[in-house]
A and B are shown apart, each in its own frame.
Chain A
Amino acid sequence: MNEISKDILQFLKSRGFLDGKNSLDEQVSLTETGVIDSIGLLQLVDYLESSYTIEIPMEIITPDNFDTLAGISQSVMKLKK
């Protein structure tokens, strides 16, 4: 798991999203497994924008890019470049 995924996981833990779980598979859908919903997703986007000083365009927030730890961390990495 890369540093960004670890950071997201830590955010989800600290904000009560993981409901007692300690880890998550990087490829698991965050919405389908009930980790996060649309409001949680927006909180995460807000956190990532301030932590990584990036702007996440709304058009990339789709299930393809933003529903797994792997997808989100890849999106963040691309935006950081």
Chain B
Amino acid sequence: MTMDTVVCKKCALDSKTPGITINADTGLCQFCENYTPLSKEKKEEFRLQMDTLFKSPKKQGKYDVIMALSGGVDSSYALYRLKEEYPHLRVLAVQFDNGFISDTAFKNAQKFCELTKSTYFRLVLDNTLLRDTFKKAARSKDAYPGFAKYRASDMCNTCMSIIKQKLVEMAIHTKTPFIVFAFSPGQTEVPFVTLTKPFMTWIRKLFDAQMKTMGVTERNLYLMDQDTITASPPDTEVMIIHPFLVWEYNKHQFKEDIIRLGWTEPDLKDPNSSNCLLNAYAIKNHFDKYHIHSYAYDQSALVRQGNIKKEEAMKTLHTTFSDAAMKEVQRRLDQ
């Protein structure tokens, strides 16, 4: 950071980041200036809505919930909390093996499935094709819309999109009404998203176009199956739920709680991920391409909401990654 760089008075965004403007009068970035905190009433409304949904899910298939389980802090805690609050829920926890998940994260995910009596499923796709896709995402520029660059790195956006596509497909196949993602309140703003058939087709088309821009040829492997969408009943709906927009978000507390329950911290030396080895590489790649730290928006939103302190966010965003770790990921990508 240079002497000319101005950091927002409230959050961790700074004037050096493309697209961020700091108002000279208020000292605030445009996101802080336009920020309206979620009212207590609204939060209570969300809590009641989630309670209603989870207390009596439509029993159409074998499961009530598909949980995206990475084995990291947030999703491990979310699975535990979900089953604590709604013990009757039949959960299928899906861990996506993107080829870079740490062994510890696999063990953590399985341990938490046993603990919560959830069904564990490891989603595996062709590793060679996945590596090629991640390399294409790393080399690509502007495959995702402007704002997506603040939300996540191109590599992580690709990985997350694959997970979403595959989980929606699984939900249709298994007639599971809900998918739970443990996104932080900095990563998403909408607690409940109902996917109808036309919307599923639309998000499939959008991701297909994004992958095409990246030069990915084997796209059907990553997309939800259009025939599955088409053949499903007209009223087919899948609801995505983000429980951290309803529950309080306190990562330190989550970590303490899950460690007590047997979760093990992996040796990743990445303050932003406790499960994926690719994450640090993806952050660096994104920063090199766009001069945007892919966690800056998330961390700043958490500061704005009062979930973490600004100093903590600044520290996270200024952590440097070891060359050895970067080279190791590159070596694995090139295998």
Min CB gap B257→A, angstroms: 29
List residues 18-34 of chain A with CB under 8 A from any CB of chain B: 18-20, 31-32, 34
Is A2 part of the contact surface with B, judged by Cβ < 8 Å? no
Contacts of B150 in A (CB 8 A): 16
Contacts of B237 in A (CB 8 A): 58
Contacts of A58 in B (CB 8 A): 194-196, 199, 237
Most buried by B among A19, A32, A35: A19
Is B19 part of the contact surface with A, judged by Cβ < 8 Å? yes
Is A36 part of the contact surface with B, judged by Cβ < 8 Å? yes
Contacts of B19 in A (CB 8 A): 16, 19-20
**Known A16-B30, A16-B31, A43-B190: A62·B147 in contact at CB below 8 Å:** no
Report whether A35 and B146 are in contact in the complex, using a CB–CB cutoff of 8 Å.
yes
Specify which of B33, B146, B203 is in contact with A38 (CB 8 Å cutoff): B203
1/0 per residue, CB under 8 A from B, across A43-72: the answer is 101100000000000110111000000000
Cα–Cα, bound, A62→B188 (Å):
21
Count of chain A to chain B residue pairs whose CB atoms are closer than 8 Å in the complex: 71
Is A79 part of the contact surface with B, judged by Cβ < 8 Å? no
| Chain A contact residue count (CB 8 A cutoff) | 25
Is A77 part of the contact surface with B, judged by Cβ < 8 Å? no
**Known A14-B34, A20-B19: A63·B145 in contact at CB below 8 Å:** no
Contacts of A38 in B (CB 8 A): 199, 202-203, 206
Min CB gap B29→A, angstroms: 10
Contacts of B146 in A (CB 8 A): 16-19, 34-35
Contacts of B61 in A (CB 8 A): none
Cα–Cα, bound, A16→B30 (Å):
9
Specify which of A19, A45, A62 is in contact with B198 (CB 8 Å cutoff): A62
Q: Which range holds the interface residue count of chain B?
A: 20 to 34
Cα–Cα, bound, A40→B149 (Å):
12
Min CB gap B290→A, angstroms: 11
Is B142 part of the contact surface with A, judged by Cβ < 8 Å? yes
List residues 183-197 of chain B with CB under 8 A from any CB of chain A: 188-190, 193-196
Cα–Cα, bound, A36→B206 (Å):
10
Contacts of B189 in A (CB 8 A): 43, 46
What residue in chain A is nearest B164 (Cβ atoms)? Answer: A38
Report whether A39 and B188 are in contact in the complex, using a CB–CB cutoff of 8 Å.
yes
Is B151 part of the contact surface with A, judged by Cβ < 8 Å? yes
Min CB gap B214→A, angstroms: 13
Residue ranges of A at the interface with B (Cβ–Cβ < 8 Å): 14-20, 31-32, 34-40, 42-43, 45-46, 58-59, 61-63
14 extra interchain contacts, Cβ-Cβ under 8 A, other than A38-B202, A42-B193?
A: A15-B31, A16-B31, A16-B146, A16-B150, A19-B145, A19-B146, A20-B19, A34-B144, A36-B145, A37-B145, A43-B189, A46-B190, A62-B198, A62-B199
